[in-house]
Amino acid sequence: MSENLKKRIAILGSTGSIGRQTLDVCSQHPDMFQVEMLTANTSSALLIEQALKFDPNCVVICDSSKYQEVFDALDPHGIKVFSGIESVEELVKGDNIDIVLTAMVGFAGLRPTLAAIKAGKTIALANKETLVAAGSLVTQLAAKYHAPILPVDSEHSAIFQCLHCGSQHEVEKLVLTCSGGPFRQKSREEVFNATVEQALAHPKWNMGAKITVDSASLMNKGLEIIEAKWLFGMQPEEIEVVIHPESIIHSMVRFRDGAIIAQLSDPDMRIPIQFALAYPGRLELDTARTDFPALGSMSFFAPDPERFPCLQLAYKALQKGGNTACAMNAANEVAVAAFLQQKIAFGQIPEVIDYAMSRTSFVADPQLEDIFETNAEAERIAKACLN
Ligand code: MG
């Protein structure tokens, strides 16, 4: 493929787990993908290392106290260096970028994602909080500006792949699989009093701290139900969650004739990442090939709402609609941070979320300013609840 046909990629959050794996995919297909922009929150040393290897047009270090260090390292190599989240919002609009992979953590990913959508970029969405907080707005703007949103989350990538087997009106149910996290077999008391160390020891996926805690509480699956609603235009009752500890089936679609299409592989995030970047094609990838005889069997269980109330909170937020999911997400970010700082017990995470969610002012049809206001209000209420 000639130089000008390469897909030019911006990676927002390149030093995190998804960002690093995206660079691994890019390095396996240098003839297909060109890395144009990298951004990091505070990890300056890794950002420098990545930039020296991939030679992007520019990088952004959001933490301005690290700017000089990054500038001194990269400026001699002709790589432009910027700081601050506003720079990310500005640079994603550049004519030199085709695909924006959004892997920033949490609500902070919303503004840069919206900027990229308004510039008509293809969005490879790895920041689920964007759709949870502002799904209605984000999908409306994506349609208006003809910005395709391709899922990177493994479950949604699986569903997206399965949907190629039928038409939208033939879909009866989306079945999201869930590993169950590290506390799947723990008692109610053990789950409630789980330590930070226990919560961060995920059995199947190696990820950042926030999403790992979300996976342990099943809030990650709650966020994914909401993400699925917006990505695929489904009603809450059309989205089911099933616990599948082996994490081989990444999700399924049931069609109206009862036929179920599933997407399978050994767990490896580079598959959904590469599927989004290469879409509509498929490229080679050096993943482990699933060995079915070695696997032997796969198991499935219903989620337990008693031990894992977060999943029900997400369904509740979807049913209520409006800005409720945004409030839930904000409260979850506060609660997870408090848990990681050992200020609250693991079992208090859903209590903080429920408290803040039910007290945040309801807005039926939130616009952008309402989303930011809701996020701030729910954060305030959640922080007050901690004390
Ligand atoms: Mg996922």
Give the mean pLDDT of 2-21. Answer: 90
Short-list 103, 144, 125, 173, CA closest to 279: 125
- Check whether 187 has a pLDDT greater than 60: yes
**How close is the Cα of 224 to the center of ligand 1, in Å?**
7
Which range (97-101, 127-131, 249-253) has the least confidence?
127-131
**How close is the Cα of 214 to the center of ligand 1, in Å?**
10
- Check whether 26 has a pLDDT greater than 60: yes
**How close is the Cα of 178 to the center of ligand 1, in Å?**
8
**How close is the Cα of 153 to the center of ligand 1, in Å?**
5
**How close is the Cα of 241 to the center of ligand 1, in Å?**
12
**How close is the Cα of 155 to the center of ligand 1, in Å?**
5
Residue 356's alpha-carbon distances to 211, 324, 329, 371, 378, in angstroms, are 20, 10, 10, 15, 6
Contact 159, 240 (CB under 8 A): no
pLDDT at site 5: 85
- Check whether 72 has a pLDDT greater than 90: yes
Cα distance between residue 191 and residue 58, in whole Å: 44
- Check whether 338 has a pLDDT greater than 90: yes
Give the mean pLDDT of 312-317. Answer: 97
Give the mean pLDDT of 100-127. Answer: 96
- As separate numbers, helices (DSSP H) first and strands (DSSP E) second, the chain gives 17, 11
**How close is the Cα of 154 to the center of ligand 1, in Å?**
5
**How close is the Cα of 9 to the center of ligand 1, in Å?**
22
- The pair of three-digit structure tokens given for residue 67, joined into one six-digit string: 């700017």
**How close is the Cα of 206 to the center of ligand 1, in Å?**
12
Task: Please report the domains of the chain, with CATH numbers, ordered by start residue.
Answer: 3-151 (3.40.50.720), 156-320 (no CATH), 321-387 (1.10.1740.10)
- Beta-carbon neighbours within 5 Å of ion ligand 1: 153-155
Cα distance between residue 350 and residue 356, in whole Å: 10
Helix (H) or strand (E) holding 266: none
**How close is the Cα of 67 to the center of ligand 1, in Å?**
32
Region of 13 please: left (phi>0), alpha (psi -120 to 50) or beta: left
**How close is the Cα of 158 to the center of ligand 1, in Å?**
10
**For residue 280, cis peptide bond before it (omega within 30 degrees of 0):** yes
Pairing of strands 80-83, 239-243: unpaired
pLDDT at site 1: 46
Q: Is 189 exposed, middle or buried (0-12, 13-18, 19+ CB in 10 A)?
A: exposed
Express each pLDDT in 119-149 by its tens digit: 999 999 999 999 999 999 999 999 999 999 9
**How close is the Cα of 344 to the center of ligand 1, in Å?**
25
Give the mean pLDDT of 47-58. Answer: 98
- Which DSSP state fits 343? S
Give the mean pLDDT of 87-105. Answer: 97
In this prediction the pTM is 0.95
DSSP helix/strand/coil, 323: coil
Q: In what order do the strands lie in the sheet with 260-264?
A: 239-243, 171-178, 249-255, 260-264
Q: Which residues pair with 9 in a beta bridge?
A: 35, 99
**How close is the Cα of 11 to the center of ligand 1, in Å?**
19
**How close is the Cα of 227 to the center of ligand 1, in Å?**
10
Contact 302, 242 (CB under 8 A): yes
Express each pLDDT in 344-360 by its tens digit: 999 999 999 999 999 99
Considering only the C-alpha atoms of the chain, give the largest distance between any 2 of them, rounded to a whole number of Å.
62
pLDDT band at 208 (very low <50, low <70, confident <90, very high): confident
**How close is the Cα of 208 to the center of ligand 1, in Å?**
12
Residue 26's alpha-carbon distances to 43, 161, 205, 343, in angstroms, are 20, 21, 21, 40
